[in-house]
Amino acid sequence: MLRKAHKCYGSVAKSISLRRGYASHPPKARLNIPTDYASTPLLHHSAKSSLANKELSNEARNGTTSRINLFQAVNAALAYALRSDQRVLLFGEDVAFGGVFRCSMNLATEFGDHRVFNTPLSEQGIVGFAAGAAMEGMRPVAEVQFADYVFPAFDQIVNEIAKCRYRAGHNADSMNCGGLVIRMPAGGVGHGGLYHTQSPESLFTHVPGMRVVVPRSPVQAKGLLLGAIASNDPVIFLEPKILYRAAVEHVPAEPYILPLSTAEVLKEGKDVTIISYGTPLYACQSALAAAEKDFKCSVELIDLRTVYPWDRQAVMASVNKTGRCIVVHESMVNAGVGAEVAATVQEGCFLRLEAPVQRVGGWSTHAGLAYEKFNIPDVTRIYDAIRTSLEY
Amino acid sequence: MDFVVPQNIPPIATYRVMNSQGLIEDESHAPKEVMHEQILEWYKNMLFVNILDAIMSDAQRQGRLSFYMVSTGEEGITVGSAAALEPDDIITCQYRETGVFKQRGFELPDFMSQLVHNKNDPGKGRNMPVHYSGRANTGVHAVASTLGTQIPHAVGAAYAMKVADLEAGKPVSRVAVAYFGDGAASEGDFHGALNVAATRDCPVIFICRNNGFAISTPTSEQYRGDGIASRGLGYGIESLRVDGTDIFAVYEATREARRKALENGGRPILLEMMSYRISHHSTSDDSLAYRTQDEVEPWKTRDNPIARLRLWLQNNDLWNDELEKSTRAQIRADVLREMKSAEKELKPPLSSIWDDVYAVYSGEQLSQRAEMKRMMMKYPDEYDIDEYEGGIEAL
């Protein structure tokens, strides 16, 4: 039951931007205009478009769609998982009443308090508990309320969840965290400030043993989450919170799994490859549309989807084709996912490269509230990176 | 084999001085050394918090503010306890302690500039509203949204002050205080903090605001034991449960806790202040999604800290309806006026994006600052920076 007062982090009312509040754009801007989610080519605005997705299961492709947002897609995935597999559990802070982002609406009612429940306020407790349940054969979905609060759970994630299969050796099959998914809202939302904006995905890519996934849309969220729950490896699932309400599209009603560690080429091109994941893809789309018009070039856009282990083949194949590469992410440039992609690309495509690999990311600072729009890579910076790459 | 059975142990009693009618039941607990002017100041500070809360949460609904958190029902806990501390005491808190800031000297312009993140914000516009910064003037650490992380900070601060005093040959005379909610007390940091405080004899007071909720999670789902006060026993810490809506009880308990915390070179004390979170968790929450209006209503009048102190003041001829009306009107006018003028101010300079990450700029940061300036000069139409103090020259 949606309440009017639930003006959660994702909603940016038009009236607010008219008052030049915290989500406005300059009057003469051509590039730095807020993403129009209702028309972006990255979302499926028709059932036909959605069902044409080659990655869907037959069941899904022959079914219907409903036009839903990202939190509803997550909710649909969770409902299907809980319904089809008794081992699936869902828990975390405030999960029972529906969750602070509505992802668990009606699930406690349908599946009961022993499968969908609130935990006390302790991320280390939630994640450690999830690890133990996973090692006993359950498929727990643990929710951390904001990625900014995952840090107390780092010990459990790095030293236990990532390592238990490995240290169990011959006993690996009886003692691993396959089936464990830790979900958390991440990323900028316009007014989250220091502690409701963080994108810590790269921190998890420097420890082997887990898959780190970032969905860009409702269709992707449903399929990737089901893929994560079905995976035999533990998965960290970061949901871009600004997209919970903003991204709306036709999502197949039937269940389907999207593959982990597989990138997706969203748009083919021949002059520059842009690699990104999550929310910045929308800015990348706007930037490349303007660049293709202004510079008469053709840009290829790739969504990594899983940032570790990531799809090196797809990225190298693309850069070997185009000769130019730009990586875009919200989190700060230093030691971000972009650093790894850039290093790998220069190793593998050195002689093909026409320009240095560029990274457009957050500045090396914290996510200050008043400066968020300057920190997060905007359309202009991405557009300029394309131009620099072409002109090199 | 005698197991200790928690259910068989009676719950810890709640310390109360004044009843719901504003009458002090046991005169021996009446606040003797407090002047009437001080009590009136407490009352006005509570009114300030209450009125600021009402106006600013409305402002959020109108889109003038991105976010706000109200502390209705808990004004007595924050104002009353802060009133019992000394100026040099150090405080760390959660995010619902506006009354602590007010009692400690944070002024209306400080509050308002933070809320609208303008150039006068002591926190340089970096944090969400109500995450005030005022360590230099008020002794209160800048607020973070993370829960529980502030609790061990107070322990460390207490230890540092104790060691500094001992090294200087002075008696230990300062305490540190950590405020946190019933939910935050579930975090690992709470347990680490209490244990270190006890084993290192730190002069620290732990003040838990138990308001019954952690967003939608009621205390029945937060813990199984007898609240937070019962945990002190496990760590060897003296503890007291207090009626948080009785400002005299809050004041007396904190005063005594402070005295005890400084005894014999220092030790920790745990206070659990009981109240009810009348407000939603924040402006991003609609609490009617998980509780009924019927449950909330009685708390607005029955055990309300402001209403009770008002009755006491009126019973003692220190207050009347006329003063209530004029004081509320004055506070309201001040807040509205300050908000209007704060909104007109410029935002902090863009150089604040990189200041204060390190003590001194790194080379990488200097080159990023130059890069952003280059971008803004190359694409001037794409950036609106006139509302930031100094505009592009600040880079």
Bridge partners for B178 per DSSP: B92, B206
Residue A45 is among the residues annotated as catalytic for this protein: no
Q: What is the mean pLDDT of chain B?
A: 96
Residue B192 placed within a domain: yes
Rounded Cα distance between B62 and B66, Å, is 10
* CB B77, CB B303: distance < 8 Å: no
Structurally, how many domains does chain B consist of?
Answer: 2
DSSP state of A217: S
pLDDT in tens, A282-335: 999 999 999 999 999 999 999 999 999 999 999 999 999 999 999 999 999 999
Model confidence at A2: pLDDT above 90: no
Give me the phi and psi of A232, to 5 degrees please.
-90, 5
Kindly state the average pLDDT of the residues A129-133.
98
Shared-domain flag, residues B30 and B47: yes
Question: Cβ of A26 under 8 Å from any chain B Cβ?
Answer: yes
Tell if the CB–CB gap between B382 and A375 is shorter than 8 Å.
no
Within this chain, do residues B60 and B160 fall inside the same structural domain, yes or no?
Answer: yes
Structure tokens given for A202: 């790269």
Which DSSP symbol is given to B181?
Answer: E
Mean pLDDT of A124-137: 98
- B288, B366: one domain: no
Pick A97's closest partner by Cβ from B280, B290, B362.
B290
Q: Is the dihedral of CA B259, B260, B265, B267 positive or negative?
A: negative
In a domain, B1, yes or no: no
In A, minimum Cα distance to B354 occurs at A365
pLDDT at A10 over 60: no
Mean pLDDT value of segment B52-75: 97
| Residue at token pair 């990023």 | B368
- Encode pLDDT of A220-262 as tens digits: 999 999 999 999 999 999 999 999 999 999 999 999 999 999 9
Q: Residue B178: which of B208, B200, B217 has the closest Cα?
A: B208
Q: What is the pLDDT of residue B32?
A: 80
Residue A262 CA to residue A310 CA, distance in Å, equals 7
Nearest residue to A281 via CA among A240, A248, A335, A226: A240
Residues shown for chain A: 392
> How does strand A264-267 pair with strand A299-303?
antiparallel
Check residue B33 and give its pLDDT.
85
Give, in degrees to the nearest 5, the angle at Cα A154 between A148 and A157. Answer: 120
Does pLDDT of A62 surpass 80?
yes
Residues of B in contact with A375 (CB under 8 A): 353
Asked whether the predicted pLDDT for residue A81 surpasses 70, the reply is yes
Residue after which a domain boundary falls, among B329, B344, B359 = B344
- The answer to whether residues B196 and B314 belong to one domain is yes
Choose the closest CB to A369 out of B117, B187, B365.
B117
A123 catalytically annotated: yes
Q: Does A169 touch chain B (CB under 8 A)?
A: no
> What's the token pair of residue B90?
């150090």
Position B31 scores a pLDDT of 80
Tell which residue, B12, B10, B20, B24, has the closest CA to residue B252: B24
Residue A72 confidence (pLDDT) above 50: yes
What pLDDT score was predicted for residue B301?
86
Nearest-angstrom CA–CA distance, B110 and B115: 9
> Does residue B204 share a domain with residue B126?
yes
Active-site residue identified among A44, A93, A143, A196: A196
Burial class (CB in 10 A: 0-12, 13-18, 19+), A171: exposed
Query: For residue A146, what is the nearest residue in chain B, using CA coordinates?
Result: B146
B196-211 per-position pLDDT tens digit: 999 999 999 999 999 9
C-alpha to C-alpha distance for A133 and A146, rounded to whole angstroms: 22
DSSP annotation of B263 reads G
DSSP string over B61-88: HTTSSS-----TT-HHHHHHHHHTS-TT
Q: With a cut of 90, say whether residue B385 has pLDDT above it.
A: yes
The pLDDT tens digits of the residues spanning B311-321 come to 999 999 999 99
Does B217 share its domain with B294? Answer: yes
Residue B25 belongs to a domain: yes
Which pair of structure tokens corresponds to residue B385?
């920076």
- Residues B330 and B361 occupy one common structural domain: no
Q: Answer yes or no: do A193 and B126 touch at CB < 8 A.
A: yes
pLDDT digit string, tens, across residues A148-190: 999 999 999 999 999 999 999 999 999 999 999 999 999 999 9
**Summary count for chain B: helices (H), strands (E):** 14, 8
CA distance to partner chain B, nearest, from residue A113 (Å): 12
Chosen for mutation from B374, B384, B389 (greatest number of chain A CBs closer than 10 Å) is B384
Q: What is the pLDDT of residues B125-183, one digit of tens each?
A: 999 999 999 999 999 999 999 999 999 999 999 999 999 999 999 999 999 999 999 99
Do B50 and B132 have their domain in common?
yes
Which residue in the block uniquely carries the two structure tokens 């949606």? A2
Q: Identify whether B282 is part of a domain.
A: yes
pLDDT of residue B249 exceeding 60, the answer is yes
List helix spans (H) across chain A.
14-18, 47-51, 58-61, 70-84, 107-111, 123-135, 154-155, 164-168, 201-204, 218-230, 243-246, 280-295, 312-322, 337-349, 372-375, 379-391
B145 contact residues in A (CB cutoff 8 A): 148, 193-196
Alpha helices by DSSP H, chain B: 36-61, 75-83, 98-103, 108-115, 135-138, 150-167, 188-199, 219-222, 231-235, 247-261, 293-301, 305-315, 321-344, 363-378
Q: How many CA within 13 A on the CB side of residue B336? A: 9
Measured CA to CA, the distance from residue A192 to residue B128 in angstroms comes to 6
Identify residue A349 by its one-letter amino acid code.
Answer: C
Determine the average pLDDT of the residues in A51-66.
Answer: 97
Write down the mean pLDDT value for chain A.
Answer: 94
Instruction: Give the integer Cα–Cα distance in Å for A362 and B202.
Output: 41
Domain span at residue B319 reads 6-344
Q: How far apart are CA B39 and CA B291, in angstroms?
A: 34
Closest C-alpha among B107, B178, B99 to residue B137: B107
Q: Which residues of A touch B293 (CB under 8 A)?
A: none
Residues B331 and B227 in one domain: yes
Reduce the DSSP state of residue A360 to 3 states and report it: strand
CB contact under 8 Å between B353 and A371, yes or no, is yes
Interchain proximity A370–B347, CB inside 8 Å: yes
Check B382 against A97: CB less than 8 A apart.
no
pLDDT tens figures, B100-134: 999 999 999 999 999 999 999 999 999 999 999 99
pLDDT of residue B201: 98
Query: Which residues of B are less than 8 Å from A29 in CB distance?
Result: 381-382
B contact test, residue of A101, A122, A360 with most B CBs within 10 A: A122
Strand order in the sheet with A139-143: A116-118, A88-92, A139-143, A181-186, A235-240, A211-213, A306-308
- Cα–Cα distance for residue pair A385/A366, rounded to 1 Å: 23
Report d(CA A213, CA A219) in Å as an integer. 14
φ/ψ of B139, rounded to 5, equals 80, 5
- How many CB contacts within 8 angstroms connect chain A with chain B? 165
**Residue among A120, A124, A58 at smallest CA distance from A93:** A120
Q: Are residues B329 and B372 located together in one domain of the fold?
A: no
What CATH number does residue B192 fall under? 3.40.50.970
- Chain A CB contacts of B365 under 8 Å are 363-365
State the sign of the Cα–Cα–Cα–Cα dihedral A37, A41, A42, A47. positive
Question: Of residues A44, A93, A123, A330, which has the active-site annotation?
Answer: A123
Q: How far is CA B317 from the centre of its chain?
A: 30
Based on the fold, state whether residues B279 and B361 are members of the same structural domain: no
Q: If 0-12 CB within 10 Å is exposed, 13-18 middle and 19+ buried, where does residue B263 land? A: exposed
Among residues B46, B94, B91, the alpha carbon closest in space to that of B73 is found at: B46
Distance from CA of B368 to the nearest CA of A (A): 7
Alpha-carbon distance A290 to A270, whole Å? 16
Q: How far is CA B111 from CA A155, B98, B120, B125, B169, in A?
A: 37, 9, 10, 12, 38
Q: How far is CA A278 from CA A188, A240, B109, in A?
A: 11, 6, 39
- Report the alpha-carbon distance of residue A151 to residue A379 in Å, rounded: 31
Mean pLDDT of B369-395: 95
Residue B311 lies in a domain: yes
**Which residue, B315, B306, B313, is CA-closest to B275?**
B306
How do residues A183-218 score in pLDDT, each as one tens digit?
999 999 999 999 999 999 999 999 999 999 999 999
CA of residue B341 relative to chain centroid, distance = 25
Same domain, B301 and B384: no
- In the beta sheet, which residues pair with residue B266? none
Tokens linked to A349: 């495509």
pLDDT band at A23 (very low <50, low <70, confident <90, very high): low
Partnered with residue A185 across adjacent β-strands are A239
From residue A49, alpha-carbon distances to A61, A87, A111, A246, A301 in Å are 11, 34, 33, 19, 18
Chain B residue with the nearest C-alpha to that of A26: B384
CA distance A147 to A102: 16
Q: Write the secondary structure of A127-185 as one string of H (helix), E (strand) and C (coil).
A: HHHHHHHHHCCCEEEEECCCHHHCHHHHHHHHHHHCCHHHHHHHHHHHCCCCCCEEEEE
Distance from CA of B279 to the nearest CA of A (A): 13
Q: Is a pLDDT exceeding 90 seen at residue B27? A: no
